[in-house]
Structure 1
C-alpha cells in the first residue's frame, strides 16, 4: 500500500498509524478502471500466477512507474513462490524502459 504517497509493507503498519493519513491500496491504483502500465506489463510478461502476491507487487510497481525506483526497491519484502521473478523483473524493466537481461 501507499501511505502518504510512499510504498510501505501494509502488514507492518498498524491501523492507528494510518489515522489521518492518505492510504492507497491496489484498488486505488487504477481507480479510473483502466489498467496501469504496471498491470499491463505484468500481464504481457506473464509475471502473474496464483495472484496472492499480485496486489503487493502492483502498488509499488505503479509507484515506480510514476516516480522511479529500482527493481530491488520494488521487490523488497515480497515473496513470490510461483513465478521465479523472471516475468516480474521483465515487467519492471518494461515500465522503466530498461531492456537488460534477467539478473
Structure 2
C-alpha cells in the first residue's frame, strides 16, 4: 500500500503502551440492527514494550494492508473498516446510493 493508503487506514488504529506491552487495536464495527452500529477498539497485536520504532512501523504497515480489517470501496475509493462494506468491493454508502440496496 502507498503511504496515502496507510494514512487513510491508520485513523482506525489505536496504539497503547501499558503494563509492559504495546497493544495495537483496530476499530471494529458490529451491527446490532440495520442502522445500529456498535463500534469498539479490539486488540489485534501485542508487542514487547522494547519494540523498536522501525519494527512498530513494519507491524503497522502489515496491519493497514490486512483485508481482514480494512477495505477500499471500488466505487468511491474511500478507505473503510471491513464492517462498513456492503460486500468485498462496495461500501454501504455506495451500495445504497448507486445500487438500490436498502440497509
TM-score by length of 1: 0.27
In our comparison, the structure showing a higher alpha carbon Rg is 2
Which structure has greater strand proportion? Answer: 2
Q: Whose RCO is larger (CA < 8 A, sep 6+)?
A: 1
Which structure has greater helix proportion? Answer: 1
TM-score by length of 2: 0.27
